[in-house]
Structure 1
Amino acid sequence: MCGIAGIFHLSTPKPVDPARVERMCDAMVHRGPDGHGVWTARGVGLGHRRLSIIDVAGSPQPMVSADGRAVLVFNGEIYNFRELREELRATGAEFLTDGDSEVILAAWQRWGPGCVDHLHGMFAFAIYDCSDRSLFLARDRLGVKPLFLAEVSDGSVIFGSELKALLAHPMLRREVDPLAIEDYLAWGYVPDARSILKGVTKLPAGHSLLLQHGKPTPRPSRWWDVSFADRRKESAADLEAELLHLLRRAVRSRMVSDVPLGAFLSGGVDSSSVVGLMAEASSEPVRTCSIGFDVARLDETSHARTVAELFATDHRSRIVSRDDFEHVDALVDMFDEPFADASALPTWRVCQLARESVTVALSGDGADEAFAGYRRHVFQQGEDRLRRLLPTGLRAPLFGTLGRIYPKADWAPRAFRAKSTFQSLAVSSEEGYARSLSVTSAEARDRLFSPEFQRVRGDYRAEAEVVALMRSIPARSGLDRAQYADLKFWLPGDILTKVDRASMAVSLEAREPLLDHRLVEFAASLPEAMRVRSGTGKWLMKRTMRRYLPEEILYRQKQGFVTPIADWFRGPLAGVARQIGESTSLARTGWFERSVIDGLAQAHIAGSSDHGRLLWQLLMLDRSLARLGIA
Structure 2
Amino acid sequence: MCGIAGIFDTQARGPINEELLSRMNQAQFHRGPDDGGLHLEPGVGLAHRRLSIIDLSGGHQPLFNEDHSVVVVYNGEIYNFQGLAKELAEAGHVFRTHCDTEVIVHAWEEWGESCVERFRGMFAFALWDRNRETLFLARDRLGVKPLHYSLLPDGRLLFGSEIKALLTDPSLPREFDPRAVEEYFAYGYIPDPRSIFKAVRKLPPGHTLTLKRGDGRLPEPREYWDVSFRPNGVHDLNEATDQVIERLREAVRIRLVAEVPLGAFLSGGVDSSAVVAMMAGLSDRPVNTCSISFGDPRFNESAFAEQVARRYGTSHYVESVDPNDFDLVDRLAGLYDEPYADSSAIPTYRVCELARKRVTVCLSGDGGDESFAGYRRHRWHLHEEQVRSRIPQWFRGPVFGLLGAAYPKADWAPQVLRAKSTLQALARDSVEGYFDSVSILDNATRKSLFSSQFKRDLQGYRAVEVLKRYASRAPEHPLSRVQYLDMKTYLPGDILTKVDRASMAHGLEVRVPILDHEFLDWVSGLSPDLKLAGRQGKYVLKKALEPYLETDNLYRPKMGFAVPLSDWFRGPLREKVRETLLGEQLSDTGLFDRKRLHWIVEQHQSGARDFSPAIWSLLMFGAFSSQLRPLCVSPLASSRIAHRHHP
Compute the displacement of 1:270 (Å).
0.5
Is residue 547 from structure 1 mapped to residue 513 from structure 2 by the alignment? no
Partner Cα separation in structure 1 for residue 127 and residue 29 of structure 2? 21
- Deviation per residue, 1:532-581 (Å, 9 max, x gap): 10111111111111111111110111112222222322332233333332
1:512 corresponds in structure 2 to 512
2:563 corresponds in structure 1 to 563
1:273 corresponds in structure 2 to 274
2:638 corresponds in structure 1 to none
Cα contact 1:268–1:553 (8 A) shared by 2: yes
Partner Cα separation in structure 2 for residue 311 and residue 153 of structure 1? 57
Compute the displacement of 1:514 (Å).
0.7
Where 2:149 maps in the other structure, the secondary structure is strand
- Deviation per residue, 1:94-138 (Å, 9 max, x gap): 211111000111111110111001000000001101111100000
Where 1:533 maps in the other structure, the secondary structure is coil
Show structure 2 runs of 5+ residues with no match: 634-647
Partner Cα separation in structure 2 for residue 40 and residue 533 of structure 1? 57
2:253 corresponds in structure 1 to 252
Partner Cα separation in structure 2 for residue 290 and residue 125 of structure 1? 31
Show the 5 A alignment for 1:9-88: 9-88=9-88
Amino acid paired to 1:212: K
Compute the displacement of 1:625 (Å).
0.5
Amino acid paired to 2:433: G
Where 1:480 maps in the other structure, the secondary structure is helix
Amino acid paired to 2:561: F
Cα contact 1:580–1:615 (8 A) shared by 2: no
Amino acid paired to 1:494: D
1:587 corresponds in structure 2 to 587
Cα contact 2:232–2:522 (8 A) shared by 1: no
Compute the displacement of 1:362 (Å).
0.7
Partner Cα separation in structure 1 for residue 578 and residue 556 of structure 2? 37
Amino acid paired to 2:412: W
Where 1:61 maps in the other structure, the secondary structure is coil
Partner Cα separation in structure 1 for residue 413 and residue 233 of structure 2? 41
Partner Cα separation in structure 2 for residue 376 and residue 616 of structure 1? 22
Cα contact 2:174–2:199 (8 A) shared by 1: no
Q: How many residues are paired up?
A: 630
- Deviation per residue, 1:138-181 (Å, 9 max, x gap): 00000000000001132111100000000112211111112111
Cα contact 1:243–1:544 (8 A) shared by 2: yes
Partner Cα separation in structure 1 for residue 110 and residue 166 of structure 2? 32
Where 1:589 maps in the other structure, the secondary structure is coil
Cα contact 1:578–1:602 (8 A) shared by 2: no
- Deviation per residue, 1:300-342 (Å, 9 max, x gap): 2222222222222111222332552122221111111111100
- Deviation per residue, 1:182-240 (Å, 9 max, x gap): 11111111111211111100000000011000002210000000122536343111121
Partner Cα separation in structure 2 for residue 278 and residue 522 of structure 1? 21
1:318 corresponds in structure 2 to 319
Compute the displacement of 1:467 (Å).
1.9
2:94 corresponds in structure 1 to 94
2:131 corresponds in structure 1 to 131
Show the 5 A alignment for 1:222-261: 222-230=223-231, 232-261=233-262
Partner Cα separation in structure 1 for residue 293 and residue 459 of structure 2? 43
Deviates more, 1:569-578 or 1:145-154: 569-578
Deviates more, 1:341-350 or 1:459-468: 459-468
Deviates more, 1:200-209 or 1:230-239: 230-239
Amino acid paired to 1:150: S
Amino acid paired to 2:586: L
Partner Cα separation in structure 1 for residue 416 and residue 577 of structure 2? 29
Where 2:277 maps in the other structure, the secondary structure is helix
Partner Cα separation in structure 2 for residue 445 and residue 599 of structure 1? 14
Partner Cα separation in structure 1 for residue 497 and residue 384 of structure 2? 30
Is residue 346 from structure 1 mapped to residue 347 from structure 2 by the alignment? yes
Partner Cα separation in structure 1 for residue 294 and residue 456 of structure 2? 42
Where 1:547 maps in the other structure, the secondary structure is coil
1:184 corresponds in structure 2 to 184
Compute the displacement of 1:606 (Å).
3.3
1:605 corresponds in structure 2 to 605
TM-aligned CA distance change 1:453 to 1:294, over 3 Å: farther
Amino acid paired to 1:57: S
Where 1:125 maps in the other structure, the secondary structure is strand
Partner Cα separation in structure 1 for residue 282 and residue 231 of structure 2? 33
Compute the displacement of 1:492 (Å).
0.7
Partner Cα separation in structure 2 for residue 555 and residue 243 of structure 1? 18
Amino acid paired to 1:520: L
Show the 5 A alignment for 1:128-207: 128-207=128-207
1:433 corresponds in structure 2 to 434
TM-aligned CA distance change 1:357 to 1:541, over 3 Å: same
2:113 corresponds in structure 1 to 113
Show the 5 A alignment for 1:383-532: 383-473=384-474, 475-532=475-532
Where 1:127 maps in the other structure, the secondary structure is strand
Partner Cα separation in structure 2 for residue 325 and residue 305 of structure 1? 26
Deviates more, 1:280-289 or 1:346-355: 280-289
Partner Cα separation in structure 1 for residue 319 and residue 563 of structure 2? 14
- Deviation per residue, 1:579-624 (Å, 9 max, x gap): 3322332011121122222222232233332221221110110010
1:282 corresponds in structure 2 to 283
Amino acid paired to 1:529: D
Amino acid paired to 2:64: V
Amino acid paired to 2:178: P
Where 1:88 maps in the other structure, the secondary structure is helix
Partner Cα separation in structure 2 for residue 482 and residue 606 of structure 1? 37
Partner Cα separation in structure 1 for residue 619 and residue 242 of structure 2? 48
- Deviation per residue, 1:272-316 (Å, 9 max, x gap): 111111111111111111123333312222222222222221112
TM-score of the two chains, using structure 1 as the length reference:
0.98
1:309 corresponds in structure 2 to 310
Cα contact 1:580–1:597 (8 A) shared by 2: no
Cα contact 2:33–2:51 (8 A) shared by 1: yes
Compute the displacement of 1:251 (Å).
0.8
Cα contact 2:139–2:205 (8 A) shared by 1: yes
Deviates more, 1:273-282 or 1:313-322: 313-322
Cα contact 1:64–1:71 (8 A) shared by 2: yes
Compute the displacement of 1:468 (Å).
2.5
